Amino acid sequence: MSIIEQRRTEIRAQETTYHVVVATRTDVDRAEPTPKVMITLEAGGPDGEPVVEGSLDLDVAVAATVADLVADELLSATGAARPTRRRSAGRPAQQGRPWNDELDAELEARWIAGESVAEIATSFERTPGGIRARLPRVGCDPENPGCYLPVPPSRRTDLDGGEPS
């Protein structure tokens, strides 16, 4: 067994302390290692006596479904409402995705050609804030459309074409 990631949480409710461990692992001793999620729950009373202990060993493919079922049942049993999740329906398709040299070159060319942040953001399927944040990384001035950032004095060459001073 090889643990890929592990998270530990301690929850206190009145006089009981719950320890929850969620680990993602693979069974490397099998011919075809399959990722698993193991959830372990232990709880102790005020004097350390065991109150609850148990574990679940799930295939990654069903972990999200089991989590939703358990959450729904726990919320139903306590009468609590399920918290609303952050909506991502209006999120641009490429938001948060990595940039590459080709995208950087296209961003630079479009900015220098005079396209607006909004036009570029729509074309790249990213947010205007993401475009503004990326512009300095490709040498463009986000405050002045169609312009490069000025070269700082420490990077300038002298008039003789020599190295920076």
User: How high is the pLDDT of residue 29?
Assistant: 65
Q: Distance between CA 55 and CA 20 in Å, rounded? A: 10
Gyration radius from the chain CA atoms: 27
Task: Please enumerate in sequence order all residues whose Cβ is within 8 A of that of 157, keeping only pairs 6 or more positions apart, or say none.
Answer: 163, 164
**CATH number for the domain harbouring residue 74:** 3.10.450
Residue ending a domain, among 78, 111, 128, is 78
**Structural domain that includes position 107:** 92-151
Single-letter amino acid code for the residue at 15? E
User: How high is the pLDDT of residue 153?
Assistant: 77
**CATH number for the domain harbouring residue 121:** 1.10.10
Q: Distance between CA 122 and CA 93 in Å, rounded? A: 10
- 99 and 37 inside one domain: no
The angle, 0 to 180 degrees and rounded to 10, between the axes of the packed helices 117-124 and 101-112 is: 150
Q: Distance between CA 138 and CA 126 in Å, rounded? A: 16
Contact status, residue 30 vs residue 50, Cβ threshold 8 Å: no
- 66 and 113 inside one domain: no
User: How high is the pLDDT of residue 162?
Assistant: 52
Element (H or E) spanning 164, and its range? none
User: How high is the pLDDT of residue 89?
Assistant: 63
Q: Distance between CA 151 and CA 153 in Å, rounded? A: 6
Q: Tokens in use for 1?
A: 């067994």
86, part of any domain? no
What order of strands is seen across the sheet that includes strand 2-13? 2-13, 16-26, 35-44, 50-59
In tens digits, the chain (165 residues) has pLDDT values of: 566 777 888 888 888 888 888 878 776 666 666 678 888 888 888 887 888 888 888 777 777 777 777 777 777 777 776 666 555 667 888 888 899 999 999 999 999 999 999 999 999 999 999 999 999 999 999 999 999 998 877 777 765 455 555
